């Protein structure tokens, strides 16, 4: 566990990016505003906020919106870090569906779960989603 003051400048930049995009979350149904920022091996940062829908199941989480931005810019991004910011006292980890999407491009990345107070919990992605389903399994059939 670290916080925004003790984090490295790179991680602080990722936090600031996720914090900024969170303000644009479209969450009229749940009221939960989520911001996500992903960093690729190129150093570039891509952001996303959650995007809800009147047909609730069509909602897309902030992490997947950010991943989509990374893929749209780099096609096959190598994700090295994912930052998620909410206002929750206990920072939110990525949901199961987002873990599956992160696994595709960032199996070795670090996940940072943070809140508005700057509390940040760092976890290796492989710990959050061990034995993930991947392209290798498709090739083994």
Comparing CB distances to ligand THU, the nearer of 3 and 30 is 30
CB of 14: closest distance to ligand THU in angstroms?
16
Comparing CB distances to ligand THU, the nearer of 25 and 45 is 25
The residue among 29, 26, 24 whose CA lies nearest residue 56 is 29
Query: How many angstroms separate the CA atoms of 127 and 104, rounded?
Result: 15
CB of 1: closest distance to ligand THU in angstroms?
19
Q: Is 52 a catalytic residue?
A: no
In Å, what is the CA distance from 67 to each residue of 1, 80, 83, 140? 24, 12, 11, 26
Comparing CB distances to ligand THU, the nearer of 11 and 62 is 62
Chain residues binding ligand THU by CB under 6 A are: 27, 30, 32, 34, 50, 52, 59, 61-63, 92, 94-95, 98
CB of 5: closest distance to ligand THU in angstroms?
25
The catalytic residues are 63
């Amino acid at each position: 566990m670290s916080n925004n003051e003790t984090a490295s400048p790179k991680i602080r930049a990722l936090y600031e990016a996720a914090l900024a995009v969170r303000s644009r979350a479209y969450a009229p149904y749940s009221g939960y505003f989520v911001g996500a920022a992903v960093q690729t091996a190129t150093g570039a940062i891509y952001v996303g906020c959650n995007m809800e829908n009147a047909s609730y199941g069509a909602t897309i989480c902030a992490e997947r919106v950010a991943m989509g931005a990374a893929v749209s810019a780099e096609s096959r991004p190598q994700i090295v870090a994912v930052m998620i910011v909410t206002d929750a006292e206990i920072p939110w980890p990525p949901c199961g569906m987002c873990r599956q999407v992160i696994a595709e491009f960032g199996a070795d990345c670090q996940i940072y779960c943070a809140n508005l107070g700057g509390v940040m919990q760092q976890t290796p992605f492989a710990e959050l989603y061990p034995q993930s389903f991947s392209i290798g399994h498709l090739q083994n059939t």
